[in-house]
Structures are given as structure tokens and as C-alpha cells.
A and B are shown apart, each in its own frame.
Chain A
Amino acid sequence: MDFDITAPAGAVDEQDGDDSVNIMAPTAFEQLMAQRDTEVHTSNASVSLDRVDVIFGQHVYRTVKGVLVGMLRGTPKEVMTGRKVLDAIDLKVSPGDRLGIVGHNGSGKTTLLKVIAGILPPVHGTRNVAGSIAPVIAQGLGFEPDLPLRLNIKLGLAYSNRLPQHSRDLEDAILDFAELTEFADAQFQTLSSGMQARLTFATSLFQTPDILILDEVFATGDANFVRKSQAAMMEHIERTPIVILVSHSAGLIRDVCNRSILLDHGRMVEDGPTDKILDIYAQRYG
């Protein structure tokens, strides 16, 4: 999906004549949002998880060395069984839902996001997702340190199955939003960690999915950039049919989400209005 940021609709060049009208050109992000409004989204976007289990560590002893170590330790069975990170999760999310996921550290929040995003296939149970999905997950997009920013943007799009959207204009828009245009041809590894985070965020931002998945992505870069990112992301959230958000900030969950679930050691223990769930969470975990 390309969008032209060089000739914004409605913009009139000031130098065209005395009687020209100066209308402020929309930013690339505003154009993306305007385009979003004209697009027909999958009306039946939905997420459905049925008795989903995720178990880590089941394959530990699949190597010859692993089998030998397990035999020597004398506890192969426990390790072979693995650690159940998600336990029989049933979840249905429909258009209009802004779902917050709350829970203590290690409760399975990010794992659940990865299952919904299709990164982790369920070990047991089924996952059905209708509509396009965009995970904005804190760990990054698989950027290569020794490649220039432009190539890394394209790589980020490829890794998130968005290569057909790639265009020079989109690259420019992402670099502009990340305030990194002057470093377009520099290697990713030459950027500061704050700059790297800005590029990751901006690359994730420029997409118009039916289902937006967010994992603690709001606090990136300096104060100005955080403010700009938050504003852009909130606008994004408003226009996306389904939003699923993991955050440790109760305020953010309360502002964004109309429904929340509470996870406890991989099990979904509560599902309901955000205020109620946050109150239960506060009571149980202080």
C-alpha cells in the first residue's frame, strides 16, 4: 500500500502566486490515517483461541548430548514435560474490542500476544484469526546491524509480511517520522539505542491492520519523540477494529482498553470490563 507524501492532496505551494492559499501539508502519518478511513476493512476481523496451551522446554533432550545430560541428572521426565506458559486459554476478540492483558511478571502476557500474532503456534488447542494482523512487539523487527537504514526498513517490512507495501515514499515517511532522514544510508549499528528504538517503532507504526497488537511500545526515545509516538499510536488505536495491548501501566490500559483479561501463571483467571479487572489485579498483586 503506497502513499505519496511528495504531493499531498489539498496542499498548495506557497510560491505558486500571491493569491495562493497556504494549507499545511498533512504529515505522512496523517495521510496514512486518512487512507485508512477510505479503506474497507474486513468486517469480520476476529481472534479466537480455543483451549490453547504453550509449553516451553519440551524439546530440551532432542539432541544426543541433551539425552545424555538428562540421563545423568536422572530427571529427564520433568524437563521433557517442559514448562506450561499458557494453560487452556479460551479467548474471543471481536471488532470494537480494545483488549488489555494484565498479569504479574511471567504470567504469559507476551507469550499470549505471540500466539495471537502467529509467531508461536499453539502446542495444543486452536488459533483462528480473521483479518490482517500487525504485531508491534518490543523485541524488534530483526534489523541487521551492518545494513543501512533504508535496507533495514525493507527488511523489517519483509519480516512482517509487508513487502508488497514497500516503496521509496514509505521509506522516506518512516525515516521522517523517526527523525532519522539524515542517517538514511548509515549502518543501523551506528545509531544510538534510542535512535534504533525510534526506527523500530516507526517501521511498526506505518501499517493499517485489522488487528493491532502492542507490547509495551510507548516509551521509546526522548520526551518529544515519546509524545509524538503516543499521539500517533493513540490515533492508530482509535481507527483499528481490534486492539490488543500488554502494558504494566494501569493508566494506559484504562485509557485505551474497554475490556481486559487477567493472567495468572498462564491461566486466564478473569475477563471483563477494564476497571473491574484492574481493581482485581490491584487487590491480588498490590
Chain B
Amino acid sequence: MLLNESLKTELKTVHFIASVSLYKKYCGSLIGMGWSLLNPLVQLIVYFFAFGLIIKVPIDNYFVYLAAGLLPWTFISSSLINSATSITSRKGTCQNTAMPHWIFVLSDISCELFATLIAMSLLLAVAIVTSDNALMIVALIVPVLLPVVIFTYGAGVVMAYLGVLYRDLPHLLNLFFSVMFWLTPIVYHWTMVPKSIEVIVKYNPFAMLFGSVQVLLHGGAAPTLDLMIATYVIALTAAAAGITMARRIGNKLIYAL
């Protein structure tokens, strides 16, 4: 019971610190949380203009397809890059409180999640209106998005701990995600990939995580069981790695701050 109470307090702390971060981020801004919507929307319009209107990627309802990949992608990449500095950027606080360091990581990711969910809810509305299988989309959206969220929280904790030891990590992650963006079927469909490099796209964990979201929101179909199992395996592996690091390392990295 003591452990449960302690965990409950820690999760409340995550929620509070995330809300403080949001308050700080948008306080004094003209449109406040509207930026959470405007940023991904402008990004979507730019990619739609380039690939939908100019290059004319042959995918029906391309805007929804693009959004179904781009929104989760932005959530994962921003969260993991920010996580790599979640602990190092709070050196002073970490050195004066006994609070578990992973709380900061989860708080930062929760901020990103909040912004993503706002944009995602709009996408969901569009997908429901444009699809013949609205009920299925509503029923499956949570099970499909859940692995994306679990993966990000787990991998974020890993990145945060590694980021304390290896200060080059945020820069490396920036490069990594710049490359992975083009190796993941976000602006194109995986069937358009040449056979010679298909394996890279096929076994790319991000492609699997987003694949189920794209199948549901764009295709209006339920993802295959194989795909769902694969996404949950990826997500739970990341979560297990994050929990193991948090338990084994705890606050010991304070000496490296």
C-alpha cells in the first residue's frame, strides 16, 4: 500500500510539473495553447503542399495520411530529443531535492503529449467524418495510439539517463531523427519503396508504430493482429528498459550532473 501511495504521489507530481511547464511555455503568449495546434498544422500544410500538390504522391486523402504519420512522429521525435536534456537542464533542482529524476522526464513528455492530443483530436474528427467505418475508428483509436505513448515514455527515460552521461546525445538524436524521418513511411507509402531498401522500412520500429495509426485513420480499417502485436512488443520493450534504468540507476547519475 505504501508503494502505491508513493507512486500515486509521484504521478500527481508528474501531472503538476507538466502543467507548470505548459503554464510557463504559453504564459504571456498571444494565442497561448493555440500554438499547440498551429505548429503541427503549419508543418502539415507545408508537407502537403510539397508532396501532395507539387510531387503529387499517389495516395488518396493524402492530408489525412500525412497527418496520421506526422503527428505521432513529431510527438516521438520531440519528446525523445527533449528527454535527453530533461535531467541535465534541471541540475540545480536535482542537486537539492530527493525527487526521483524520472519525474522530470515524464513531465516533459506529458507536455508534448498534451499538445499532440489537441492536434490528434482534430485529425480524429476529420477521419471520422471522411471514413465509412467511424465506429471502428472510435473503438480502436486508443489501443492503436497507446503503444506510441508507452514507447515514448519508456524510451524517453532511457534517453534522459543516457543524456546525463553522454552530452552529445541530443545532437545525435537530432541527426538520427532527421535520417529516420525519410526512412519511415510518413510522406510516402511503404508500397512505394524500392524492393532493395524495403527491409529497412519494413523492420523500422517507427514504421510499425505509425503503420497501425495510418491503417486505422487513413485506411479506415483495423490494423492486422500481427502489426498490433509488433507495436505492443516494441512499446513494452521500451517501457521495460525505462523502468529497469529508473530502478537500477535511480538518482545515482546526480554525480555526473
Contacts and interface: CB of A to CB of B under 8 A. Distances in A.
A96 interface: no
Contact of A161 (B96, B99, B165): B99
A55 B252 CA distance: 11
Nearest to B254: A120
B12 A163 contact: yes
A146 interface: yes
A137 interface: yes
Given A154-B16, A163-B13, A163-B16, A119 B98 contact: yes
A232 interface: no
Contacts of A117: 98
A123 B255 CA distance: 9
Contacts of A154: 16
Interface string A17-46: 000000000000000000000000000000
A141 interface: yes
B: contact size bracket: 20 to 34
B9 interface: yes
A137 B98 CA distance: 12
Contacts of B20: 144, 147, 151, 155
A63 B166 contact: yes
A: contact size bracket: 20 to 34
A158 B255 contact: no
B9 A163 contact: yes
B132 interface: no
B131 interface: no
Contacts of B26: none
A11 B24 CA distance: 41
B96 A140 contact: yes
A139 interface: yes
Contacts of B97: 119, 141-142, 159-160
A59 B165 CA distance: 8
A58 B96 CA distance: 20
A154 B20 CA distance: 10
Contact of A59 (B12, B250, B251, B255): B255
B16 A62 contact: no
Given A121-B250, A121-B251, A163-B9, A158 B93 contact: no
Contacts of A146: 24, 27
A72 interface: no
Contacts of B23: 147, 151
A164 interface: yes
B9 A119 contact: no
B204 interface: no
A137 B255 contact: no
Contacts of A163: 9, 12-13, 16
A55 B255 contact: yes
Minimum-distance CB pairs A-B, first 8: A59-B256, A118-B98, A142-B93, A159-B97, A139-B96, A158-B13, A119-B98, A62-B165
B168 A64 contact: yes
B95 interface: yes
A183 interface: no
Nearest to A56: B255
A147 B22 CA distance: 12
A135 interface: yes
B92 interface: yes
A251 to B, nearest CB: 27
B56 interface: no
B247 interface: no
Interface in A149-168: 151, 154-155, 158-161, 163-164
A102 B171 CA distance: 45
A199 B23 CA distance: 21
